[in-house]
Amino acid sequence: MSTTARLQIALLFYTSVNVAIFTAAVYASTLFPPLLPHAGFWIAAITAVGMFMTAPLAWCVGACLPSIWHDKLVAQPSPLAQAPSREV
């Protein structure tokens, strides 16, 4: 497996998880009354901790997924897909 493929998968996973963590931080800090006076701090703190915690996890997921993607059932072209042509 190439490092670039692993890096691309890791970045895709990392950004997706961090979007979910940021959304959860916004909801948690604005809906939980004791956190509301310092919502800006809690949003930043939860997001920063999430960024540091998901980086190693994303790198491990990047190592595991390519073996799944090269499965014969996944790599076969669809029988419903048409052959590419240059006709418009």
Cα–Cα distance measured from residue 22 to residue 43, given in angstroms and rounded to the nearest whole number: 7
Reading the block at residue 42, the tokens are 């809690």
Would you say residue 3 has pLDDT above 70? yes
Q: For 49-80, write each residue's pLDDT tens digit.
A: 988 999 888 888 877 776 655 555 455 666 77
In the chain, the percentage of residues whose pLDDT exceeds 70 is 80
Amino acid 67: pLDDT: 63
Reading the block at residue 21, the tokens are 């963590």
Give the global pTM.
0.65
Cα–Cα distance measured from residue 67 to residue 88, given in angstroms and rounded to the nearest whole number: 37
Higher-confidence residue of 65 and 17: namely 17
